[in-house]
């Protein structure tokens, strides 16, 4: 493993850990007096781009995509609803004006992570792959390594709520 790939994995793991603090009710990894990452990176427009890019990557990945094959099928969430709930969650993770779970920008209630993933049978390696891909999306969308490392612990903390086998 090269030094660069180690840094990507470290950044990815950092993203995952930040998700845990959101799941535990702490909406922001920032101190109250510091500008939020949400504001630093452009707010809702950037969150929309990151979510769109992350969903495209997820659905294009032959290992991750099958877990979301039912998205858009009768009785399941639409791709737009999935994106809307992810926008809500990312807004909260980056310290923006949101609480997750909660009401998304389409007016729907987003489920908690355990309920949302209960029937998907996501494995640990698939979760880890998503986190690594998400770190790459954040990096490609202009988020610094230091800021990715800041949010990583929250996302890593969601693993026990998402992985079901």
Determine if the pTM surpasses 0.85. no
The β-bridge partners of 18 are 153
CB 80 within 8 A of CB 126: no
Q: What is the 3-state secondary structure (H, E, C) of the chain?
A: CCHHHHHHHHHHHHHHHHHHHHHCCCCCCCCCCCCCHHHHCCCHHHHHHHHHHHHHHHHHCCCCHHHHCCCCCCCCCCHHHHHHHHHHHHHHHCCCCCCCCCECCCCCECCCHHHHHCCCCECHHHHHHHHHHHHHHHHHCCCCHHHHHHHHHHHHCCHHHHECC
- What residue ranges do the domains of the chain occupy? 3-162
Residue 61: which of 130, 140, 120, 125 has the closest Cα? Answer: 130
| pLDDT of the chain, 165 residues: tens digit per residue | 333 333 333 434 333 333 333 333 444 455 557 899 999 999 999 999 999 999 999 988 999 989 887 776 666 677 888 899 999 999 999 999 999 999 999 999 999 999 989 988 999 999 999 999 999 999 999 999 999 999 999 999 999 999 998
**Which homologous superfamily is 3-162 in?**
Globins (1.10.490.10)
């Amino acid at each position: 493993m090269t030094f660069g790939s180690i840094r990507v994995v470290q950044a990815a793991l950092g993203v995952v850990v930040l998700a845990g603090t959101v799941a535990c009710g702490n909406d922001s990894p920032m101190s109250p007096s510091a500008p939020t990452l949400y504001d630093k990176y452009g707010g809702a427009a950037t969150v929309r781009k990151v979510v769109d890019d992350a969903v495209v990557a997820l659905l294009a990945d032959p290992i991750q995509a099958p877990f979301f094959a039912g998205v858009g099928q009768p009785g399941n969430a639409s791709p737009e609803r999935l994106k809307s709930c992810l926008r809500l969650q990312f807004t909260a993770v980056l310290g923006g004006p949101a609480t997750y779970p909660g009401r998304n920008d389409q007016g729907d209630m987003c489920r908690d992570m355990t309920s949302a993933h209960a029937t998907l049978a996501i494995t640990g390696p698939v979760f880890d792959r998503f986190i690594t891909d998400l770190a790459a999306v954040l990096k490609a969308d202009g988020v610094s390594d230091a800021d990715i490392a800041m949010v990583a612990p929250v996302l890593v903390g969601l693993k026990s709520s998402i992985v079901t086998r």
